[in-house]
Amino acid sequence: MKICAFISLSGGQGKTTAAFFTALLLAQQGKRVLAIDADPQANLTFYLGQEVEENEPSLMEVLTGVVTTEDGIYATQYPNLFVIPADRSLFKVSDFLASSGTGAFILKLRLKAVADLFDYVIIDVQPSRSQICLTALGAADLALIPVESNTKGVNSLIDTLKFVGEQTNLAAFTGSILGVIPFRDRWVGNTQTVDSRENIAAMAELFPDLTIFPSIKESEQFKKGIRQGKTLTELGHEQLEYPFTKLMEVLTRD
């Protein structure tokens, strides 16, 4: 079971979008996929068509051990794709994680119980230096960093790498960084905008050892895909799926 966390410390960097399509495409390839919504905003939960009632278990109850991991898992409308959902109450888990003293390792521990049931775990991580973020990163074998193709994205990348580096030094993150996914790369016709080009180039220049995946282009089709629960290829925009095709190649390599 490969555990992949989509993480970046600023909002709106494409984490949920990238996590959603990655989970969908892996499941379409016949992989058994568990998506985990580790963000109290609960966007991934919503995108996957789930709604958690107050008395139903979510990631909160899985982390605190109120239910078993299996009892927090729900089937989605997609074959092979399951989810541990979030709701707003996930905010409250911070105190539990902080007071446990080993908060960074709790999700990893909970996932051991379902290691034989899934091929991939895809975690959508809250964009802050929170306990939820710590436990999500702590569980991950692979970290993927989506960032906008602008100055805010470059700064988000710098902050996120600093955070991941700190967690690595503390042995709280023992996985590796798979790469950066530039998000909302703007093109006008066949020409990439100067802003997008220069900012993606700046990322490569600042961090020459990092893999920079092909970018997710600025396009309404991604939102449409999320709304309709369809991949870009199913919407007739196979070329927009290219960053995910590349990512699939790397994720399914061995």
Ligand X SMILES: Nc1ncnc2c1ncn2[C@@H]1O[C@H](COP(=O)(O)OP(=O)(O)OP(=O)(O)O)[C@@H](O)[C@H]1O
Residues of this chain that interact with ligand X (CB under 6 A) are: 11-17, 39, 41, 43, 127, 184, 216-219, 222-223
Please return the burial class of 198, using the count of CB atoms within 10 Å of its CB with bins 0-12, 13-18 and 19+: middle
Question: Which of these ranges, 16-24, 131-139, 163-171, 197-205, lies near Mg ion under the rule CB under 5 A?
Answer: 16-24
Residue showing the smallest CB distance to Mg ion in the complex: 16
Helix (H, G, I), strand (E, B) or coil at 5: strand
CB 89 to Mg ion: min, Å: 17
Nearer to ligand X, 11 or 165 (CB): 11
Q: Find the shortest distance in angstroms from Cβ 198 to ligand X.
A: 19
Q: Which is nearer to ligand X, 17 or 69 (CB)?
A: 17
Q: Which is nearer to ligand X, 32 or 229 (CB)?
A: 229
Residue 93, token pair as written in the block: 């888990």
The reply to whether 45 sits near Mg ion by the rule CB under 5 A is no
> CB–CB of 103/135 below 8 Å?
yes
For the CB of residue 28, give the shortest distance to Mg ion in the complex, in Å.
22
Nearest to 148 by CA among 94, 202, 223, 103: 202
- Binding partner of residue 218 among ligand X, Mg ion, none, CB cut-off 5 to 8 Å per kind: ligand X
* Residue 16 or 149 with smaller CB distance to Mg ion: 16
Closest CB 218 distance from ligand X, rounded Å: 4
Instruction: Classify residue 39 by its DSSP letter.
Output: -
Least distance to ligand X from the beta carbon of 116, Å?
30
Contact 125, 133 (CB under 8 A): yes
Rule CB under 5 A: say whether 130 interacts with Mg ion: no
Checking DSSP bridges between strand 142-148 and strand 176-183, what pairing results, if any?
A: parallel
Contact at 8 Å (CB) between 232 and 245?
no
Closest CA to 182 of 205, 142, 209, 153: 153
How far is C-alpha 68 from the chain's CA centre? Answer: 23
Size of the site for Mg ion (CB under 5 A): 3
Question: Looking at 8-16, 28-36, 172-180, 241-249, which segment touches Mg ion (CB under 5 A)?
Answer: 8-16
Of ligand X, Mg ion, none, which one does residue 175 interact with (CB within 5 to 8 Å by kind)?
Answer: none
Is 17 a binder of Mg ion (CB under 5 A)? no
Going by C-alpha positions, the residue among 13, 12, 17 that lies closest to residue 247 is: 17
**Is residue 186 a contact partner of residue 196, using CB atoms and an 8 Å limit?**
yes
Radius of gyration of the chain (CA): 17
- Shortest reach from residue 244's CB to ligand X, in Å: 11
Q: How far apart are alpha carbons 60 and 66 in whole angstroms? A: 9
Decide whether 57 or 127 has the Cβ nearer to ligand X: 127
